[in-house]
Structure 1
């Protein structure tokens, strides 16, 4: 086949009745060795995989992937599996002839109560069908037609001057060299599109570091399968070594062995926190964008030598979003970090038809306007706020790419399915900030709540859980406020400002535009739900939002506690905001003493600033003075000190707030406080706490 000789991969689209497409798909792949069939009725003797498990195949390769979309097209699964097709292979898409004319079976995931999937718009699928029909990079085989021809593009000759016989591109060779020479406190960040050999580069570098004398090197990733290429390269370069599960041992002549060990992310560091040390001094993190930023930060602080590798267009997180959000932490903790991007494909030839088609269909190449154009547009003005029509957006590829690119750039995780939600999710609104034709900011919202009294009661009692309505249901169920389910609420799902236009107040202008549109639409309450992080809390507080609920557990996706904040946009909404804020404020001290006793103390301190308290009386100040200038134990004074701290908490520095909050509200030990303050001994620590508290009285 010409695809194999060109080292290209092809997309074959079979359109027709399900029985016909499934039969002819088998004819198309003939005697291929490694065939994966996803979705639908799977023929005998062929490896089957459910759509929802597609991400588990990342790191694997197949000769043929059959993507049966008769029962529904899952964008995330399609994107993940397209990258597993090896050079010369096929991705075969099966669909009805009517594909794109209406919602399919996978739209049930968009159908929030009270909507039915069949009644939703299908702008996303119509766009896919339009692009597929117009594409010159795929082969279309309609029922009743003859076998189609595959387009094969010109292939650039390979670069033979690599200077490294183990590497397959100059990019990869440079990455390996930097990994081998990894220096203390100089982290390396490798960003690459799929098929560029980043995981293999980690394996080559691991082998060379062991050859240079490294006794143990640790590797982590979202799942072991993601680092299969790393272990494959180890086995090829260290033929005397042996792999045993997630451990690769390389015996040495002196009877010792050197090893590379995969450790699951949640087992890599002890619960005590960063700086406690890991079992090794070097850590390679693969698919870093799919891991929570707080976890990456802990490793950054704990491991002297660390490298992060991630995919530009990931399916659990994007490399660009990773770079935007994590770069601030890198700059703060390890300002001497270095970055490298792998451009040349290795697993297939350049100009691969399947890669080009997948990027176009899923908007993987979506980019906002350049910084230069954004700055010019900002200078020219004027700046307009308006709501975009989703019908028009689905037909306008440049605008759609600019908008989606802005969301990808600004957010840590943006998946292919987010584009479908953007175009077809019920109750979704898009408010934009633009100058001329340049998009400077966007806010994406979705409507929630409005449940009738009976259903709202059932939700509040935990008896019903209708699809969707994240904030409305959570505040009703976990906050016990039935009005949160009854009120009409608009949740800000995403808000993004062009990187060249930040620090100009545009985020707040967008939020005000959302609030004004909500008032016109009869909405009572605005809401936002996000991983609790100080910068985000400050932004939403500045926009008039108050905390309404803090999740008791850490979210696997963000590594942070989820915080929900609300703002009233009507008279009834203002009353509900006040009630939710007061409920949160009264409950927070109890939560910090019990369920949230291990939450990061700096976060607890920031949340306590939303609590109001009456100033201490003269008698209470007298009691306080006796504690501050005496040697009485803390316990009898805890309640008084808590009130005192809440009154003055905004005057405290972040670190001293954290220490005092940890001891007074969370019951943390004096040894914890001593470690935090860098002190030794109980008496010294107690005196330091008294000194910090006394400074507030001054």
Structure 2
């Protein structure tokens, strides 16, 4: 096919896309794409003769691309550097030009392709196909850690990417040698149904702004929930794939509340999401809704994102900051990116709460969030719950071939396999531990979907780059616990780490952040006297997740034991993991014998969680290092809980203070005066406040002791000691956290003082 024939084929495809309100994708696999790019843009401009918006994402070749665009028609260009990609989210463009030859990132692809409207073009630039498995970008370089080299990249993701480029309809590849490849997409039917607007308690001005039937239906259901004022707590749950207009409809819902009498008594409504960027669209449609209602509002300049209307302030707040607020009405967008503990707290506090999240899309974890969160809500009889699913795309029509390709190539619609047996039949099912060949995994779409689908239903916030890392990065492997016939029940993504040379250890100690080697880097950075640990070898468990139908049946623990056996057979020194320190996840690791050795100094800005590292030694060498690091970690933590970790839940504190399993009893360093005051408090004479200094030293001695040397206390007692004596929380706050009254906390604390004195100081009453 010559140049003229190729352009004519593309012209017909673009014309069909404009008619169907579908997008088209062209991959320019050319060393010099500028002339062909200009011809393609001219062709599209002739078919779509209006001012068009074009998002250009490139850096080193930007000037060349701009030159091609300038001579090609009516295009208003928005150039972006790769680091600023998130600024495009929420916007809508006619054309995307993304230079994958400069940075080949699956995350970039997942985020940017979906900002193109129906009838638009997605233009990707890559090297020629013959160079596809050898080209190097800066992103590739970050996939390689010591002791591997760039030549060890496996390119499984690129192989699958290319296979999908050439197998989907309306996805065109223009190659340096092979010319134009692809075929047109002819849908079986065309959806031309109009939106049916329905009268409800929400003002017509708001309902009339809905762009799809799904948005109308959400507004009507929301209106019905508003009318139910008898329920003590009302929860509205909206789930959707990306690009369905859920954030926009949340903004319209919020605008409608400002004219309802029952909501005028509130002075503040909070809006939260993992990041402030997640709520920009919500606030945009909140403003549009208020304008449609004729409501005057003002932006609050000293807030990050806040406006006031009729005395009501609507304000964005970080998720974990809500834990300390008194709230009545809360809107939560991208809820899957927020720890479940925070979401449960919002439900418990708020009279009216709205939660929305993405089931499928580059954000990832929506499906797992939905299963667990919905189950909790349905099980609470005091909650009136309304659930809605939004399926119709808002930027383009149903059946868009580019969306189909994107979801396929990035596994955005991955689901775990259906079980051919009932969960209660599991004890009779034969299981095996399987080392999945990564190349085979990326060639088998069903197997890959089963593997990735388990993560989507787990506690992880998934990103497309996770798939790329598993496929390409040397030292990353897939493991699974399967049935005898290969059905995946537990999925594990692991990475080998360690064996660092002296020069790299020195660089890390001086501040260098290497690619990979997360756990050895933590050891060098925070436990410099034990830097030799970085020379040992181990497996870091990047992800482990169990099939959603088989939670809490011991499968995850069984898979861990089998992985540990493999690591021991390979002569590795340790197995470890790093993750957000939620109670549920931390409990799993501690239960399986993993020792906490690190907690990040600051929270993750999105989840509000602190990142923690846990380790399990497999050799005597590793045991010595991990014992020392755990001691140093507990020493730091008991002296830091009152300041940087004040808001951490007490039950998480208790788990983090899990000691290395050795027998050690620490005698507290107390003066004679401190002992007298402590004894006076324990005997019900003095107040707690009169001996807090001494009591905290006693509690520190308890948590720094281990094995047979630590006094055996129940969980609640240790949580009370951590919350009151180490974090310094008020009596009422401790009581609320532990489900006790302030008086019960005070009485328990006094009793514990006596027990600790008797055990650690040999003081009798």
Residue number in structure 2 paired with 1:652: 714
C-alpha contact (below 8 Å) 2:595/2:614 kept by paired residues = yes
Residue number in structure 1 paired with 2:92: 61
C-alpha contact (below 8 Å) 2:272/2:316 kept by paired residues = yes
Distance 2:430 2:319 in 1: 49
Residue number in structure 2 paired with 1:509: 558
Residues 638-649 of structure 1 mapped to structure 2, 5 A cutoff: 638=695, 639-643=697-701
Is 1:11 paired with 2:52? no
The 3 A distance-change label for structure 1 pair 552 and 324 is farther
Residues 437-452 of structure 1 mapped to structure 2, 5 A cutoff: 437-452=486-501
Residue number in structure 1 paired with 2:353: 306
Residue number in structure 2 paired with 1:253: none
Is 1:39 paired with 2:94? no
C-alpha contact (below 8 Å) 1:86/1:347 kept by paired residues = yes
User: Which secondary structure does the structure 2 equivalent of 1:690 belong to?
Assistant: helix
Residue number in structure 2 paired with 1:631: 685
Is 1:690 paired with 2:750? yes
C-alpha contact (below 8 Å) 2:165/2:172 kept by paired residues = no
Residues 434-473 of structure 1 mapped to structure 2, 5 A cutoff: 434-435=482-483, 436-459=485-508, 461-473=509-521
How much has 1:629 moved relative to structure 2?
A: 1.3
Question: Structure 1, residues 225-252: CA drift from partner, whole Å, max 9, x if none?
Answer: 33255236515632554574855666xx
Which of 222, 225, 237 lines up with 2:280 in the alignment? Answer: 225
C-alpha contact (below 8 Å) 1:18/1:96 kept by paired residues = no
The 3 A distance-change label for structure 1 pair 247 and 371 is same
Is 1:285 paired with 2:332? yes
Residues 365-384 of structure 1 mapped to structure 2, 5 A cutoff: 365-372=413-420, 375=423, 378=426, 381-384=429-432
Distance 1:192 1:636 in 2: 53
Question: Structure 1, residues 507-549: CA drift from partner, whole Å, max 9, x if none?
Answer: 1111112111112222111111111122222221222211111
How much has 1:431 moved relative to structure 2?
A: 1.4
Is 1:319 paired with 2:366? yes
How much has 1:202 moved relative to structure 2?
A: 1.6
The 3 A distance-change label for structure 1 pair 373 and 65 is farther
Is 1:26 paired with 2:87? no
Give aligned pairs, total.
Answer: 682
Distance 1:268 1:589 in 2: 23
Question: Structure 1, residues 396-449: CA drift from partner, whole Å, max 9, x if none?
Answer: 111111111111111330011110011111211211111113111111110111
The 3 A distance-change label for structure 1 pair 283 and 29 is farther
Distance 2:128 2:152 in 1: 20
Question: Structure 1, residues 278-300: CA drift from partner, whole Å, max 9, x if none?
Answer: 4xx32222222334545444433
C-alpha contact (below 8 Å) 1:137/1:357 kept by paired residues = no
Distance 1:239 1:259 in 2: 15
Which of 520, 527, 532 lines up with 2:581 in the alignment? Answer: 532
Residue number in structure 1 paired with 2:156: 123
User: Which secondary structure does the structure 1 equivalent of 2:220 belong to?
Assistant: helix
Question: Structure 1, residues 609-637: CA drift from partner, whole Å, max 9, x if none?
Answer: 437653889x9999965531142332463
Question: Structure 1, residues 172-213: CA drift from partner, whole Å, max 9, x if none?
Answer: 333223333246523222110123221232233233323333
C-alpha contact (below 8 Å) 1:190/1:198 kept by paired residues = yes
The 3 A distance-change label for structure 1 pair 66 and 162 is same
How much has 1:558 moved relative to structure 2?
A: 2.9
Distance 1:644 1:249 in 2: 50
Distance 2:182 2:702 in 1: 78
Structure 1: gaps of 5 or more residues: 251-256
Residue number in structure 1 paired with 2:481: 433
How much has 1:75 moved relative to structure 2?
A: 0.9
Residues 158-557 of structure 1 mapped to structure 2, 5 A cutoff: 158=193, 160-161=195-196, 163=198, 166=208, 167-180=210-223, 181-182=225-226, 184-213=232-261, 214-215=263-264, 217-221=269-273, 222=275, 223=277, 224-227=279-282, 230-231=285-286, 233-234=288-289, 237-239=292-294, 241=296, 244=299, 257=310, 261-265=314-318, 269=322, 273-274=323-324, 276-278=325-327, 281-324=328-371, 326-327=373-374, 330=377, 336-372=384-420, 375=423, 378=426, 381-435=429-483, 436-459=485-508, 461-480=509-528, 481-557=530-606
How much has 1:363 moved relative to structure 2?
A: 0.6
Is 1:113 paired with 2:146? yes
C-alpha contact (below 8 Å) 1:289/1:412 kept by paired residues = no
Residue number in structure 2 paired with 1:97: 128
C-alpha contact (below 8 Å) 1:394/1:400 kept by paired residues = yes
Deviates more, 1:447-456 or 1:125-134: 447-456
C-alpha contact (below 8 Å) 1:12/1:92 kept by paired residues = yes
Cα RMSD of the aligned pairs, angstroms, is 3.5
C-alpha contact (below 8 Å) 1:103/1:120 kept by paired residues = no
Residue number in structure 1 paired with 2:12: none
C-alpha contact (below 8 Å) 2:595/2:616 kept by paired residues = yes
Which of 34, 48, 51 lines up with 2:82 in the alignment? Answer: 51
Distance 2:283 2:741 in 1: 46
The 3 A distance-change label for structure 1 pair 296 and 572 is same
User: Which secondary structure does the structure 2 equivalent of 1:555 belong to?
Assistant: coil
C-alpha contact (below 8 Å) 1:36/1:64 kept by paired residues = yes
C-alpha contact (below 8 Å) 1:103/1:117 kept by paired residues = no
Is 1:141 paired with 2:174? yes
How much has 1:28 moved relative to structure 2?
A: 4.7
The 3 A distance-change label for structure 1 pair 649 and 36 is farther
Distance 1:516 1:147 in 2: 48
The 3 A distance-change label for structure 1 pair 241 and 184 is farther
Distance 1:484 1:325 in 2: 38
Residue number in structure 2 paired with 1:254: none
User: Which secondary structure does the structure 1 equivalent of 2:124 belong to?
Assistant: strand
The 3 A distance-change label for structure 1 pair 116 and 649 is same
C-alpha contact (below 8 Å) 1:367/1:406 kept by paired residues = yes
Structure 2: gaps of 5 or more residues: 1-14, 67-75, 200-206, 759-764
The 3 A distance-change label for structure 1 pair 71 and 9 is same
The TM-score normalised by the length of structure 2 is: 0.80
C-alpha contact (below 8 Å) 2:30/2:126 kept by paired residues = yes
User: Which secondary structure does the structure 2 equivalent of 1:661 belong to?
Assistant: helix
Distance 2:645 2:723 in 1: 11
C-alpha contact (below 8 Å) 1:220/1:285 kept by paired residues = yes
